[in-house]
Amino acid sequence: MRIYLIVGLLAIYSSAFAVEIPKEVTKTANSLSSLLRGNPSLDEIRKTPIAGLYEATLGSNLIYITADGKHFILGEIYKAKNTENLTESRRNKMRMQAINTIDESEMVVFAPKRETKYTINVFTDVDCGYCAKFHKEVPLLNRAGVKVRYLAFPRAGKGSETYNTMVSVWCADDQQKAMTDAKNRRTIKTKTCNHPIDKLYNIGQDVGVTGTPALVLPNGTLLPGYIPYYKLIPYLQQAK
């Protein structure tokens, strides 16, 4: 009897403090899917620090909707006190949640021989010139204690020559050598297997990757484009 009473009281307590989302907000959020790339489904609606404004998450998109559902905002929300970008903080958290669904065995990893101080996730394309330039600096990053985890993002899409080359890289017996050879324009052995290329590419699109290289720092910050290793280290120190 006491157990049932406690459970009942907990249910009443939880419902009393549950955030009630106006149905107009939900209706508007669902209707916005058709306006966004890939028609993402509605994942979540939550209150924002601004009274009468709700945050809807559709895939990697954050949309702010008024309580009456008549207006929505595609933009950034900042704290006036310290100019913190609350929208970007949410995006960073969402990116890391997505990255954390990937097992490291599904990535091509270049790890330091000694202590790993930082880990960086890099969406890459083997036929991207700046990706090749970044890859030449991976040994320097490794020496500085940076683990580089490559995620596939063939920009030409599924079925392209680049896509097929990346399948061969991920299926190679020595992935690190195959990655290096591919980025140096050397021919690698064609190979197929049960690979995660499609999964990685889709996650890249979901977290906002539009080109390569795209670097995701440990705090979820997305850095698009090539960044020299000596400039990247301070970013990693700050993100940690």
Active-site residue set: 125, 128, 131, 155
First to last CA, the chain: 49
Answer yes or no: are the C-beta atoms of 29 and 44 closer than 8 Å.
no
Q: Which long-range contacts (CB under 8 A, 24 or more apart) does 60-68 make?
A: 60/91, 60/94, 60/95, 60/98, 60/205, 60/206, 60/207, 60/208, 61/36, 62/87, 62/90, 62/91, 63/29, 63/32, 65/25, 65/28, 65/29, 66/25, 67/22, 67/24, 67/25, 68/22, 68/24
Q: Pairing relation of β-strands 118-124 and 146-152?
A: parallel
Q: How far is CA 10 from the centre of its chain?
A: 36
CA distances from 214 to 73, 78, 217, 221 (A): 26, 25, 10, 10
